[in-house]
C-alpha cells in the first residue's frame, strides 16, 4: 500500500489559517468536481487543475510547461463548485498549498501537489458568469472552516 507524507510549502509567507502561504493559480479543470461528504457530514469536493506557464518568461505564444494540482474545497464552497464547474472550465483558485509524497507501486518516490481552496471563481477573460447570491442557512464560513479539515 502506498505511504503518504504531506508537507506544507513556504510557511513563512502570507500566513493563513494553518500558517502556510496563500497561492493563487489560474488554470483549467482536468476533471469534473466530485462532491462527497465526510464522516461528520461536511461536504468536500476535489478536482484536477492544469496550470500553464511559458518555458521562456513572457513568451505566451511559445512552448508551455504544465503543472497539475489536485484542488480540494470544503463546505458551501465545495457544494457550489460541484454545482457550477465542469471539466475544461477556466478558474482562479486561491488557497493553501501542500505537497504529498508517496511511494508508487514501482517503488519510486512521487509527489502530488494539492491546493486546499479558500476561494475560487471563473476566469472572466475567457468566460462570462452570472453571479447569484446565496442566502446563508448554515454556519458562517469561519465556523465551517474549523470543522472542515477534520472530515477530510
Buried b (16+ CB within 10 A) or exposed e, 15-41: ebeeebebbebebbbbeebeeeeeeee
Does residue 140 register a pLDDT over 80? no
CATH numbers and ranges of domains, the chain: 4-151 (2.40.50.140)
Question: Global pTM?
Answer: 0.72
- The separation between the first and the last C-alpha atoms of the chain, rounded to the nearest angstrom, is 19
Over residues 64-84, the pLDDT tens digits come to: 899 999 999 999 999 999 999
Over residues 12-60, the pLDDT tens digits come to: 333 334 556 899 999 999 999 999 999 999 999 999 999 998 888 888 7
C-alpha cell at 147: 470543522
Amino acid at each position: 500500500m502506498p505511504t503518504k507524507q504531506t508537507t506544507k510549502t513556504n510557511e513563512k509567507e502570507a500566513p493563513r489559517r494553518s500558517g502556510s502561504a496563500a497561492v493563487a493559480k489560474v488554470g483549467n479543470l482536468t476533471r469534473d468536481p466530485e462532491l462527497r461528504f465526510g464522516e461528520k457530514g461536511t461536504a468536500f469536493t476535489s478536482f484536477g487543475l492544469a496550470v500553464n506557464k511559458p518555458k521562456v518568461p513572457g513568451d505566451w505564444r511559445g512552448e508551455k510547461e504544465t503543472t497539475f494540482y489536485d484542488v480540494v474545497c470544503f463546505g458551501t464552497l465545495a457544494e457550489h463548485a460541484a454545482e457550477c464547474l465542469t471539466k475544461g472550465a477556466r478558474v482562479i483558485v486561491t488557497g493553501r498549498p501542500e505537497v504529498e509524497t508517496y511511494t508508487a507501486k514501482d517503488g519510486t518516490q512521487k509527489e502530488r501537489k494539492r491546493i486546499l481552496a479558500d476561494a475560487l471563481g471563473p476566469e472572466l477573460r475567457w468566460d462570462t458568469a452570472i453571479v447569484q447570491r446565496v442566502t446563508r442557512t448554515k454556519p458562517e464560513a469561519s465556523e465551517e472552516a474549523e470543522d472542515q479539515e477534520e472530515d477530510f
